[in-house]
Amino acid sequence: MGETKNAELTLVIVKPDGLKKSLTGNIITRLAETKLVIVGSKMVRVSRDLAVEHYKHLQGKPFFEDLIKYIMGEYHTKRVMALVYGGADAIQKVRDICGSTNPEEAQPVSIRGAYGRITTKGVFENVIHASANAEDAEREIKLWFGPDELIDPIYPMVEVEETIRRKKWK
Ligand code: DAT
Ligand code: MG
Rounded distance from Cα 131 to ligand 2 centre (Å): 6
Residue ranges of domains in the chain: 8-149
Q: What is the mean pLDDT of the chain?
A: 96
Q: Which residues line ligand 1 (CB under 6 A)?
A: 58, 63, 67, 101, 122, 124, 126, 129, 132
Q: Count H helices, E strands: the chain?
A: 7, 6
How far apart, in Å, are the Cα atoms of 143 and each of 24, 57, 93, 104, 126? 22, 14, 22, 29, 21
Task: Calculate mean pLDDT across residues 62-86.
Answer: 98
- Residue of 124, 131, 136, 140 best suited for mutating to test ligand 1, as the one with most atoms within 8 Å of CB: 124
The pLDDT of residue 42 is 98
- In 3-state terms, what secondary structure has residue 167? coil
Taking the CA of 124 as reference, the closest ligand is 1
Q: Provide mean pLDDT across the span 83-87.
A: 98
> Looking at residues 41-54, what average pLDDT do you find?
98
Q: Are 125 and 17 in contact (CB under 8 A)?
A: yes
The pLDDT assigned to 3 comes to 59
Whether the predicted pLDDT of 115 surpasses 80: yes
CATH number, domain 8-149: 3.30.70.141
Kindly provide the residue ranges of all beta strands, DSSP E only, lying in 22-95, ordered along the sequence: 37-44, 80-88
